[in-house]
Structure 1
């Protein structure tokens, strides 16, 4: 038989239970709330500086893109972004059963990819969307020094590859080699901290290339041979409509890259420098030499 608890004792036990629950409740909830706060998308000082730099880059690149003569500053980076654009065409052509015959790059007129076969419904938008996707990945890497080191190695190779397809004139060759020198030089400054701002610059420019180029082709110059106009002739709709859609997708990729960078890289500048010391420690190598 179960023991019978007198009514007075039951009231006492009930009061004790309520008191214990009220006392322990916040303590039990705190770990859960702390876990949620850690997973939340908060912005620390270092990330705030990076977001400010991204906003400044958007304005600076937009101005330099349209100012005569001064736009030469963007020459090597524009060549690289155009290369990303053409790589997007070429890769999707190969993946859809086509064959790439040639690629040419010109900072004045843009790039041209000559290919046979492939599904043009995929290859035509792949230029803008491909460069935007690469730009989003570079923007993501620009939030961290070690990630920027890895990205800069790939960028250096891509810069040199552009010389193979680019128009062979002295200005193109010199500016691309200077851009490669800038990447290499940044490795040896303050444990490569400036490197991430160079990678971030290229990422922002590549992410927004489709927006600026589509605006330039379809609104300012009204070029009839743009990717959007060719796509509209083959599959319907207007070139402006497809251009706007591709631009919105490019902006979406960029926002995803920024949000991923905020979520993945929470380290301060000092912590990033410490991490960078252990990943190809260029400063120590320089002093040893």
Structure 2
């Protein structure tokens, strides 16, 4: 079926491009990581949440989820069979990419940006409360990560809700695009790092790819390559939905702005 760039998607594409350019420029500005630090923590929550959700979907249990000040994270789960381990290990990086793509799709499908932000806040709050605090306390989870995980999760949740409530529609819409870009770019950068760390000539560092290599016997760099390919496929699909429409009988595209609610 023939496809074309939707005319009304062009302003959305420009908004997304601006968010991407700003994100990349910040990489080259000294000390700009201070500005992007909350976004890195957000992506870490999504990454670790991906592991936790995948564990639950494959019949395992989650012992704890924690986020550290250096934006790293850990999720402790019970281990199932090979298929379960593969799904759980893959769900971190691919979950971050999928979440970023989902943000783009939601606002493209006329879901109000404010609702998207509040939904994101709810996700962070649920991960923090259930797996960052309650589960470690009442099970075999690790307790040392609770203080910062609580502080980071609560701050992000409150910040996202406050932004959704008090910021203008244009600011909220741009922020959702920027958040989506951060999820996507951080997932790709992390996968690039994992790929190089998985090289046979690199110093052995514990990563999800190394965990998969230990479980399957398949080299870590192959797992990293597979994840990169899947991540790019997810990104391609999300971008296609975001800016492209089909020449068939579909609902007309909607503008990239809030829909008035009655």
TM over 0.5: yes
CA RMSD of the aligned region, Å?
3.1
Q: Name the larger-Rg structure.
A: 1
Find 1:158's aligned residue among 123, 132, 156. Answer: 123
Alpha-carbon shift at residue 71 of structure 1 (Å): 0.9
Asked if 1:54 is matched to 2:16, the reply is yes
Find 1:226's aligned residue among 207, 217, 220. Answer: 207
Matched with 1:101 is 63
Matched with 1:243 is 224
Alpha-carbon shift at residue 66 of structure 1 (Å): 6.9
C-alpha change, 1:157 and 1:116, in structure 2 (3 Å) is same
Conserved in 2, the CA contact under 8 Å of 1:82 and 1:111? yes
Matched with 1:209 is 186
Query: For 1:206 and 1:149, how far apart are their aligned partners in 2?
Result: 18
Alpha-carbon shift at residue 72 of structure 1 (Å): 1.9
Matched with 2:77 is 115
Matched with 1:19 is none
Asked if 1:253 is matched to 2:234, the reply is yes
Query: For 1:67 and 1:175, how far apart are their aligned partners in 2?
Result: 25
C-alpha change, 1:180 and 1:106, in structure 2 (3 Å) is farther
Conserved in 2, the CA contact under 8 Å of 1:141 and 1:196? no
Over residues 146-204 of structure 1, what are the superposed CA-to-partner deviations in whole Å (9 max), with x where a residue is unaligned?
A: 44233222112134346543763598478624444223323xx2xx2332221122122
C-alpha change, 1:122 and 1:73, in structure 2 (3 Å) is same
Conserved in 2, the CA contact under 8 Å of 1:78 and 1:107? no
Runs of 5+ in structure 1 lacking a partner? 1-35, 281-289
Query: For 1:195 and 1:205, how far apart are their aligned partners in 2?
Result: 15
Q: Tell me which protein shows more helix as a share of its residues.
A: 1
Matched with 1:197 is 174
TM-score, length basis structure 1: 0.68
Query: For 1:98 and 1:173, how far apart are their aligned partners in 2?
Result: 24
Secondary structure of the corresponding residue to residue 69 of structure 1: coil
C-alpha change, 1:160 and 1:99, in structure 2 (3 Å) is closer
Alpha-carbon shift at residue 76 of structure 1 (Å): 1.9
Runs of 5+ in structure 2 lacking a partner? 133-144, 246-250
